[in-house]
Structure 1
Amino acid sequence: MKNFKKVALASVAAAALLASGSVMAKAAGHNFNGMGRCDFNKLQLTDAQKKQLRSLRDERKDARSANEEQQRAEWTKYRTQVNELIRQKNFDDRKAKALIQAQQEKSIDMQLSHLKARHAFFQVLDEKQQQIWLKECAPSDQPFPPPQKNKK
């Protein structure tokens, strides 16, 4: 019974810790879409730009949906290979490195696709909007924006 209480308490504490981090990040204005505190209203997009951006978003969404089944199958295959690797009596560095490299290639491809989409988005903006986006929305070398001082 004592162990159950410890596990239950640890579970509650872990959940509270995760929730508080999420709440604090939201309170600080962080979105989890990689865009920080970007307010797209500041860009003052024209109707034509909005339409073009929706089209880009829909194309990307359709491409992801088309590959979803294949990606699921590849992920299942990867998990099976990992499980086979760890079940072996002796660890095989060569097979492990091959698995890791294959996953890294997929990660590179996904990141490349993401950057291409961001580039396409940026090209829709005019020069003034690009400057606003770079100032307000672009990823920076800072992990989080500096805290805002309370105005009294």
Structure 2
Amino acid sequence: MKKTKLLLISLLLTDFVMLLQPENAWAGDVQITCDLRVLELTSQQRNQIRLRRQQYKTRQRQMNENLMNQNVTDRQLSLRHFFSKSAFDNQQADEIAKQRYANDVRQTVAELNFYHDIFQLLDNRQREIWLQQCVQPAGRI
């Protein structure tokens, strides 16, 4: 009986950990892996992509700096206040979780924006190649 309980707990924990893995989340499906040479880009397209990539990197650096500048003390006080309550506060827990993952959401949106911009630069033939060869299902890179 003890082994059965341990096995059940182990399976539940494994399932829970698998749910937390990015490749199992919808956002994990956003994995653009492509050697752009297969698209046979024009020099104008390459230049536009270079410019967009630089803009994207600049925005990412700014987002990371903003995250680093957020007040850690405020977050710690929020957690201390949460744990100090005698009853579990679902609403506050929900807010803490949203704050924790808000930056991941912003980064995913920025990434989608970048790839959407790149896709818009392509002609119809290149778009078809991109969709067939460059957008890979999660975990199949």
TM range (shorter): 0.5 to 0.7
| 1:74-113 equivalent positions in 2, closer than 5 A | 74=70, 76=72, 80-81=76-77, 83-84=79-80, 87-88=83-84, 90=86, 91-113=88-110
Q: Which residue of 2 aligns with 1:69?
A: 65
1:118 positional shift: 0.9
Verify the 8 A CA contact 1:43 1:133 in the aligned structure 2.
yes
Percent identity, please. 24
Q: CA deviation at 1:55?
A: 0.3
Conserved 8 A contact 1:85-1:96? no
Q: What per-residue deviation string (whole Å, max 9, x for no partner) do you get for residues 71-107 of structure 1?
A: 1133835752575257536343332111112334443
Partner amino acid, structure 1, of 2:120: Q
**Partner residue of 1:117?**
114
Provide the TM-score with structure 2 as the length reference.
0.63
Stretches of structure 1 that go unaligned for 5 or more consecutive residues are 1-32, 146-152
Quick one: distance in 1 between partners of 2:109 and 2:55? 16
Q: Which residue does the alignment assign to 2:36?
A: 40
| Aligned partners of 2:49 and 2:118 also within 8 Å | yes
Question: Aligned partners of 1:93 and 1:72: how far apart in 2?
Answer: 27
Deviation >4 Å, runs of 4+: none
Pick one of 35, 42, 55 that aligns with 1:59: 55
Tell me how far 1:52 sits from its aligned partner: 0.2
Note the residue ranges of structure 2 that are not aligned, 5 or more in a row. Answer: 1-29
TM-score with structure 1 setting the length:
0.59
Number of the residue aligned with 1:135: 132
- State how 1:4-43 maps to structure 2 within 5 Å: 34-36=31-33, 38-43=34-39
